[in-house]
């Protein structure tokens, strides 16, 4: 079965602390993984994708096929990082499924 699991509904950290949002997936094929972010009162938008191997707004994510994980990390959280984060899995073709999401709250 194709599934994306984000075990934490809410993650609260202090400004300047490291942050890691967990994502695990289940898919028998070759996965394509994404992180989307939804800031308050804004539409859901792409943050990064694993094939780009890029860092966006200080965030990185590495695909670990052995652990079937794609955790999102940032060494020093900022208040403006507070948002809802969704991990997404694209299976064959166009179908993209999302995890339940993790709300990140960065405290001053």
Partner 1 sequence: DAGVIQSPRHEVTEMGQEVTLRCKPISGHNSLFWYRQTMMRGLELLIYFNNNVPIDDSGMPEDRFSAKMPNASFSTLKIQPSEPRDSAVYFCASSLDENTEAFFGQGTRLTVV
* Interface contacts to partner 1, rule CB under 8 A: 6, 34, 43-46, 49, 86, 90, 93-101
Strand 102-107 with 10-14, pairing = parallel
With respect to partner 1, which residue has the nearer C-beta, 53 or 76?
A: 53
CA dihedral 62, 68, 10, 82 (to 10 degrees): 20
Q: What are the CA-CA distances from residue 6 to residues 32, 36, 41, 59, 99 (Å)?
A: 16, 13, 22, 17, 6
Q: How far apart are CA 89 and CA 94, in angstroms?
A: 10
Q: Taking the complex as a whole, how short is the minimal distance between the CB of residue 108 and partner 1, in angstroms?
A: 25
With respect to partner 1, which residue has the nearer C-beta, 49 or 74?
A: 49
Q: Taking the complex as a whole, how short is the minimal distance between the CB of residue 21 and partner 1, in angstroms?
A: 13
Q: Taking the complex as a whole, how short is the minimal distance between the CB of residue 61 and partner 1, in angstroms?
A: 14
With respect to partner 1, which residue has the nearer C-beta, 31 or 101?
A: 101
């Amino acid at each position: 079965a194709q599934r994306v699991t984000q075990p934490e509904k809410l993650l609260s950290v202090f400004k300047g602390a490291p942050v890691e949002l967990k994502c695990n997936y289940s898919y028998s094929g070759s996965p394509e993984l994404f992180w989307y972010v939804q800031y308050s009162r804004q539409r859901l938008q792409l943050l990064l994708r694993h094939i780009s191997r890029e860092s966006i707004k200080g965030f990185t994510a590495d695909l670990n096929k052995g652990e079937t994980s794609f955790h999102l990390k940032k060494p020093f959280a900022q208040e403006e990082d507070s948002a809802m984060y969704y991990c997404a899995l694209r299976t064959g073709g166009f179908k993209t499924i999302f995890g339940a999401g993790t709300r990140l709250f960065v405290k001053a």
